[in-house]
Amino acid sequence: MPKSKLIRIVNGRVIQGGRMEEETLWIQDGKFIDPERTFWEQRIVPDVVIDAQGMLVSPGYIDIQVNGAVGVDFTADRENIVEGLDLVSKALLRYGCTSYCPTLVSSFPSVYKELLPKLKKRQGSVRDGAEILGVHLEGPFISPAKFGAHQLETLSVSPNGISDFESCYGFKLGSASTENIAFITVAPEMSGVMEVIPQLVEAGIRVSIGHSGATTSEAERAIANGASMVTHLFNAMQQFHHRDPGIIGILGSAEYNPYFGIICDGIHCHPNSVKIAHTAHPDGAILVTDAMSAMGLSPGEYHIGNMKVDKSEDRVYIQGTTILAGSVITIDACVRNFKSFTGCSIAEAVEAATLHPAQALGIAHKKGTFRNGADADFIFLDDDLRVRRVFVAGEEVRM
């Protein structure tokens, strides 16, 4: 079949390898390609030249924890979930998010059995929006002492091991029914959960620990068993204590260095806490929005799962409480805040929303990078890290 147009990106400061470099990028068939073979060996000239005009060029942002946005809640809006996915996928592009994980909060088994067959991985495109990388199942195997904005009645334990997970989610480990699951967040101290972690990991499901009262030793054991991430660090976990710092103590471990999601809105985490985490383990930081249905909308009453919430200008609480219920920050704002809070370089801030989540998902060969063969999802940023242009599979999105 004939090749598609050959595209060349010039005059941009490309962010990769932890630094910015003035480089030329070449794209064909929605992928970054080797310019040496294309131009010098084949002597092919580009069909289209895009001038970045000195702007920063970054891989598209990746958000691995999105409960919903623009009025859509992935857990609650079950009847219109396909239309909801389309709406959110398109809306996220304006913030530079070109890939994401739809996230389901703790639910009853009937909800998972209805939704998981519909929440399928999907390629990103200008028409369909940001790529769906797989579902993040946040619960229900979490601690009732750290349930946060999850419905307490839905929480579960697994005294029968993996069979309880299979009964709850409606999948069969090792079958095609798990192929659309990216992450499962669990509390490792709950009955039967610790022993299930290696089975999930062996089946290709990544495990994150969170909504948990685990001690540091329990957290370390979970990492040793295969868990590779901490869900929204500092939130919904035992608070730091000098005698047993809980999951947070993983930051000081010489042996275990998991990735950690962090909500960088200045509300869920104090800027100094963000800086401490980055200083302790800079290569593990993953910026997540934990966005819920009110993201992108005016203040008012919304919901997360089956729980009503009230949104003010910049935060959301479970109705009638002071319990935070996800966030309304966007991923581009997280990047700007992260740089401001930590004093890190632009490249470090960008990689916390590009390379690191791709690594945590095991897809750094095709996402969060400009390497040859990777998907040509990328964004242009100004020096204030504001998103100016967005491209998915080499095509520009109309903003």
365 is in an annotated binding site: no
In percent, how much of the chain has pLDDT > 70? Answer: 97
pLDDT reading at 272 higher than 90? yes
* Other beta carbons less than 10 A from residue 188's beta carbon: 26
Secondary structure (3-state) at 340: helix
- Mean pLDDT along residues 109-131: 96
Q: What is the SS3 assignment for 377?
A: coil
Q: Specify whether the CB–CB gap between 277 and 251 falls below 8 A.
A: yes
Residue 143's identity, in one-letter code, is: S
Inter-residue contact 232 to 64 (CB < 8 Å):
no
What is the band of 3 on the pLDDT scale with cuts at 50, 70, 90?
Answer: low
pLDDT per residue as tens digits for the range 167-211: 999 999 989 999 999 999 999 999 999 999 999 999 999 999 999
The chain-wide mean pLDDT, for the chain, equals: 94
Q: DSSP characters for 300-314? A: EEEEETTEEEEE-SS
Asked whether residue 180 is marked as a ligand-binding residue, the answer is no
Q: Which of 290, 332, 375, 377 is flagged as catalytic?
A: 290
Return the CATH fold of 6-58+375-397: Urease, subunit C; domain 1 (2.30.40)
Distances (CA, A) of 116 to 108, 113, 166, 212: 13, 6, 12, 24
Could you tell me how far CA 62 lies from the centroid of its own chain? Answer: 6
SS3 19: strand
* 14, 23 contact by CB (below 8 A): yes
Cis before residue 140, ω within 30 degrees of 0? yes
pLDDT in tens, 26-52: 999 999 998 776 666 666 788 999 999
Tell which residue, 290, 312, 314, has the closest CA to residue 301. 312
To 5 degrees, how large is the angle CA 168–CA 231–CA 352?
135
Q: Please indicate if the annotation marks 127 as binding a ligand.
A: no
236 is in an annotated binding site: yes
- From residue 392, give the alpha-carbon distance in Å to each of 55, 98, 360, 375, 389: 18, 7, 21, 8, 10
Residue 375 bears catalytic tag = no
DSSP for 272-298 reads HHHHHHHHH-GGGEEEE--B-TTTTS-
Q: Would you say residue 379 has pLDDT above 80?
A: yes
Tokens found for residue 265: 């809105």
1, pLDDT greater than 50: no
Contacts of 136 (CB under 8 A, 6+ apart): 64, 65, 101, 102, 103, 104, 182, 183, 184, 185
pLDDT of 34 reads 87
Q: Is 222 annotated as a binding residue?
A: no
Q: Would the CA dihedral through 87, 93, 94, 95 be positive or negative?
A: positive
297-341 pLDDT per residue, tens = 899 988 888 788 888 888 888 888 888 888 999 999 999 999 999
Q: Spell out the domain ranges in the chain.
A: 6-58+375-397, 60-367
User: Of 327, 349, 300, 319, which is closest to residue 66 (Cα–Cα)?
Assistant: 327
- The response to whether 257 counts as a known ligand-binding position is no
Instruction: Say what the pLDDT of residue 313 is.
Output: 81
Known binder of ligand: residue 242?
no
Nearest to 197 by CA among 170, 167, 220, 171: 220
CATH code for the domain defined by 60-367:
3.20.20.140
Task: For 130-161, write each residue's pLDDT tens digit.
Answer: 999 999 999 999 999 999 889 999 999 999 99
pLDDT of residue 324: 85
- For the entire predicted model, the pTM comes to 0.96
- Please report which helix (H) or strand (E) contains residue 111, including its range: helix 109-115
